[in-house]
Amino acid sequence: MNIDSKPLFSKEIDRINMTFSTVSFAEVDSSWGFTSVNAPYTRIYLITDGEGFVTCGNVTTRLEAGNVYFIPGGNEFTCECPDRMSKIYFHVNVLRYNNYDILNGYNKCITLKGKEKEIAEIGRLLKVNSINAVLQVKSQVLAMLCEAIEQENIELGEIEEYSKSVKRAIALIDKHLSANLRIPYIAEKLYISGSRLQKDFRREVGVPIGKYINDRLMFRAQAMLCDPSASIKDVSDALGFCDQFYFSRKFSQYFNTSPLTYKKKIK
């Protein structure tokens, strides 16, 4: 017997997952639209009827029935509907090993044309109250994401295996994420020098650890602001900022919009 085990592949296939924050049908009219919205998740629109428009990366794409559209998270985009439009839509994240979304940095609306059969099937499955239907919908959406990545020739790189200290640093940052989190504290907890930690982190993850912490902090703030029950002060306090005014300044510098304006746009 000859067994060719794939330990890295096994780890990655167990870890990587598509998480859904929204699964919905919508029928919209000319009152629907967003202006310069930046979301912490990828929007997937399956158009069933009518038409709309989305502008992302200075390119305007017409939303047409029978097509599927991916609007990657982390980009400013604008949507509008001139008359009416019906759609199924999902808000999803697929996080890489470093906790950045798999489409992070791709500043373009991706179109998959001629998906009438897939859209109709997903629409049918969403009306079925069963675990089988859930699994089928998730597998179909994941398949379309893979098709979109292949169509756009998006290079995701090799399976990553970080050193023990970098993996522990990422886990610690995720657990203790706060505006007060500092590199010396992380290094002390890992029993490693700050300079060694910064060098290893940048080499393996591809970004400086200070930028990584700030990115994670702003992504977390962005996600929390999507909760209509969370006030700006609630988010500021939860993330360890000294006051909401300092939080607002940091958020505005990162996203070029204030938390209040962002919250209104998301709503």
pTM for this model (two decimals): 0.85
Mean pLDDT score of the chain: 91
pLDDT at 124 over 80: yes
pLDDT digit string, tens, across residues 191-216:
999 999 999 999 999 899 999 999 99
251 is a domain residue: yes
Question: pLDDT by residue (tens digit) across 10-46?
Answer: 888 888 889 998 999 999 999 988 887 788 899 999 9
Instruction: Output the pLDDT for position 105.
Output: 80
Which of 97, 126, 151 terminates a domain? The answer is: 151
How high is the pLDDT of residue 36? 79
**Which CATH number belongs to the domain containing residue 82 in this structure?**
2.60.120.810
**Shared-domain flag, residues 217 and 256:** yes
Asked if 95 and 27 sit in the same domain, the reply is yes
Indicate the SS3 state at residue 166. Answer: helix
Same domain for 128 and 32: yes
> Is residue 129 domain-shared with residue 222, that is, in the same domain?
no
Over residues 131-142, the mean pLDDT reads 97
Mean pLDDT, range 159-172, rounded to an integer: 89
At 238 the pLDDT is 95
Asked whether the predicted pLDDT for residue 127 surpasses 80, the reply is yes
- 260 lies in the same domain as 174: yes
Q: Is residue 156 part of a domain?
A: no
Does the pLDDT of residue 267 top 70, yes or no?
A: no
In which band, very low, low, confident or very high, does the pLDDT at 9 lie, cut at 50, 70 and 90? confident
pLDDT band of 120, cuts 50, 70, 90: very high
The length of the chain is 267
Q: What percent of the chain has pLDDT over 90?
A: 70
Q: Is the pLDDT of residue 53 over 70?
A: yes
**Domain membership flag for residue 212:** yes
- Band of residue 182 on the pLDDT scale cut at 50, 70, 90: very high
Burial per residue of 108-133, b for 16 or more beta-carbon CB atoms within 10 angstroms, e otherwise:
bbbbbeebeebbeebeebeeeeeeee
pLDDT in tens, 225-255: 988 899 999 999 999 999 999 999 999 998 8
Residue 91 has pLDDT above 80, yes or no: yes
Domain count, the chain: 2
Claim to verify: residue 110 and residue 222 sit in the same structural domain = no
pLDDT top residue among 53 and 6? 53
In the structure, what pLDDT confidence band is assigned to residue 81 with cuts at 50, 70 and 90? very high
Domain span holding position 51: 15-151
Q: Stretch 82-87: mean pLDDT, rounded? A: 96
Both 81 and 115 in one domain: the answer is: yes
Residues 204, 141, single domain; the answer is no
For residue 117, the model assigns a pLDDT of: 97
Stretch 93-121: mean pLDDT: 92
